[in-house]
Amino acid sequence: MTETDSRLRVFCQAPIEDDPEATCGLSYMAAEQIRAAQPAQQPTDYGSALLHARDRMVATNQWTASQFMGRRWAIGCVALEITQRCNLDCTACYLSENSELVRDLPLDEVFRRIEMIFAHYGPNTDVQVTGGDPTLRKRTELVEIVRRIRQKGMRPSLVTNGIRAKRDLLDELSQAGLVDVVFHVDMTQGRKGFDSEAALNVIRQEYIERARGLRLSVMFNTTVFEGNFEEVPDIVAFSVRNADVVRFASFQLQADTGRGSLGKRDARLTVSLLKNQIAAGADTSLSFDTAHIGHSHCNRYAMGLVVNGRVYDALDDRSLFNRVLQQTAHLQFDRQSRSAAVMALAKGVLGSPSLTATAAAWLARKIWIAKMDLLLARCRVNKLSFFIHDFMDVCRLEPDRVAACAFSAMTATGPICMCLHNAKRDAFILEPVRTGGPNGGRYWNPVSGKITERPERITLSEDLRRKPAWRGPRTPA
Ligand code: SF4
């Protein structure tokens, strides 16, 4: 065990006494429970991972005919934090006050964690290469990390604020096997000279141009808070206008976790109202309740088909969706190639004549409704997905949601629910890391970077703990 000051291990120390929701049948994890929670133990092999995910869904009453977890996925995705440093200082940042003190994990340790992700979840697992901002890591190392994930048969994504993700880097990463690039752009980042989400579209557009034509699936992440809630429809409309490149628009509601200064979100910011805002931006109703990813209070997913700039709801027939999911659960779709993904889906559906007939009837209805737009767009159709992720506040962790979590963070000893990870981030990032060495018994100190025979006690003075986010040179984009 680490000798790190135990006060640093769990951010939420206070019992929840004044929370009105605590009287509405919800109970939250106590600080002791958070402290005691540990990463998952490594299974004997990943073969049982899907079954294990299914068991978690059953145990938390989330197992439905439209549930992806345990059917197609053993996990939604795993975050691999390769640095704790960042070149922005977001007001909703999930990192810890101590993050900037922590050195980048040694490359061998990152590789070991990649092996662990594979051992837990197997091939085709989506691995988010993240941080901090992963582009602050040495470029050659970042490329090798992406390459290693792909060589293991998993799917790497780069999650970045984009400042350093220039075209040549994206190109190199794409060649190393990167599947997705996820740009985080929003008003919580305090980018100088940008006072609205509409103004930030200049940056979003530049990022799109950097990725255009590369074999990458492009996604945008937005943290939704009081200051940009009204602008969500405009952000959605921007994604619709750029649906030839943008595949995924993801919205995270502000959560009270980490070093961010925003704190608890405004009561107006609910998943339900956010769904309305997204639908307003798409200018159509969207079926956010058809697909089911992990816990229904955590994730909401909708899919639109964009034709001639107009969005058509792709998940409006739940029974058809359930049958397609059932029939194609074993398939993996190539996010880098629309045609390959469509072909794989079509092949899967064609395996069942009755499903083929139902799907053909649905498609015919859609084609009829969209006929004018199809004509004007010369039959060009783009898929655009919308995702809502509702992270939990550090002091309001619901045990059921943690148990059904679809988003893990990889630690030195195994994966753990990201909300739980954020609630005790220091316990993981300040832990001395056991390294190789002759007997496998040496320890890397994450603050000093020294390697010693025994784990060193990590002490943090008050001024060190308040060290601000990385202040390197900033560029407008
Ligand atoms: S990280 Fe938190 S909000 Fe996201 S799926 Fe896991 S428990 Fe739910």
Nearest to 402, CA basis, from 426, 421, 427, 424 = 421
Q: Give CA–CA dist 169/113, Å, rounded.
A: 23
Q: Is the CB of 75 under 6 A from ligand 1?
A: no
DSSP string covering 180-202:
EEEEE-SGGG--TT--SHHHHHH
Q: Output the CA 426–ligand 1 centroid distance in Å.
A: 19
On the 0-12 / 13-18 / 19+ scale of CB atoms within 10 A, 450 is exposed
3-state helix, strand, coil in the chain (%, to 5): 40, 15, 45
SS3 299: strand
pLDDT band at 267 (very low <50, low <70, confident <90, very high): confident
Q: How many CB atoms lie within 10 A of CB 218?
A: 23
Give the pLDDT of residue 274. Answer: 97
pLDDT digits (tens, 9 = 90+) for 77-124: 999 999 999 999 889 999 888 888 899 999 999 999 999 999 999 999
Residue 305 has pLDDT above 50, yes or no: yes
Give the pLDDT of residue 3. Answer: 40
Q: Is the CB of 279 under 6 A from ligand 1?
A: no
SS3 451: strand
Give the pLDDT of residue 6. Answer: 43
Helix (H) or strand (E) run with residue 344 in it: helix 338-350
Q: Which domains does the chain have, with CATH numbers?
A: 6-318+381-434 (3.20.20.70)
DSSP string covering 124-193:
T-EEEEESS-GGGS-HHHHHHHHHHHHHTT-EEEEEE-SSS--HHHHHHHHHHT--EEEEE-SGGG--TT
Look at 92-96, 228-232, 236-240 and tell me which has the smallest mean pLDDT: 92-96
Q: State mean pLDDT over 249-275.
A: 91
Q: State mean pLDDT over 295-323.
A: 97
Q: Give CA–CA dist 214/317, Å, rounded.
A: 33
Sign of CA dihedral 54, 157, 83, 85: negative
SS3 91: coil
Residue 475 has pLDDT above 60, yes or no: no
Does this model's pTM top 0.85? yes
Give the pLDDT of residue 2. Answer: 40
In the chain, the percentage of residues whose pLDDT exceeds 90 is 76
Q: Is the CB of 298 under 6 A from ligand 1?
A: yes
Higher pLDDT, 264 or 220: 220
Q: Is the CB of 416 under 6 A from ligand 1?
A: no
pLDDT digits (tens, 9 = 90+) for 413-464: 999 999 999 999 999 999 999 887 556 678 999 998 999 988 888 876 655 5
Q: State mean pLDDT over 186-192.
A: 94
Q: Output the CA 417–ligand 1 centroid distance in Å.
A: 6
Q: State mean pLDDT over 151-161.
A: 98
Q: H helices then E strands: how many in the chain?
A: 16, 14
Q: Is the CB of 419 under 6 A from ligand 1?
A: yes
Give the pLDDT of residue 82. Answer: 98
Terminal C-alpha separation, the chain: 42
Q: State mean pLDDT over 170-184.
A: 98
